[in-house]
Amino acid sequence: MPGMQKTKAFVALTEHKRALEDELKGVKAKLDDLEPQVLEYMQRQGIQSIKVDSNTVYIRRDIRASMIKGDEALAEARARGLGDAITESIHASRAAAIVREFIDDPDAERPEWLTKVFNIYEGFKAGVRKG
């Protein structure tokens, strides 16, 4: 029966997919454990990037933001010309993009009003790119 063969193939692929997802969870957990150690090593050595085989491991700045709830934050955002981008709420990726516009230069002083509008989370991540 061709229908039964397709059903068996579907089941086999579903089981394979589940196994791969479990394996991916394990790989992500190992990466999460290693990333702080790699960042610490690179910071101790004073390097921004390092070539490993055919890849480059680099430090990237990670900025995340969410809007502070309340009328005061909304009023402050509108006073700063962000009325078009912000309504009662804003998607986290848009909030982070707005914040990055104002603090893209790590040596520049962060505008004080920014912390009245957004909760800002800043850290560093390790990235890997080919080449």
- Tokens for 7, please give them: 């059903």
Cβ-contact 102, 77 below 8 angstroms: no
Domain positions in the chain: 1-47, 48-131
Phi-psi group of 92: left, alpha or beta (phi > 0 → left; psi -120 to 50 → alpha; rest → beta)? alpha
Task: Give the strand pairing for 55-67 and 49-52.
Answer: antiparallel
pTM of structure:
0.66
Cβ-contact 60, 125 below 8 angstroms: yes
Show pLDDT as tens, one digit a residue, over the chain (131 residues).
Answer: 688 999 999 999 999 999 999 999 999 999 999 999 999 999 999 999 999 999 999 999 898 988 888 878 888 888 888 877 676 677 888 888 888 888 877 677 778 888 888 888 888 999 999 97
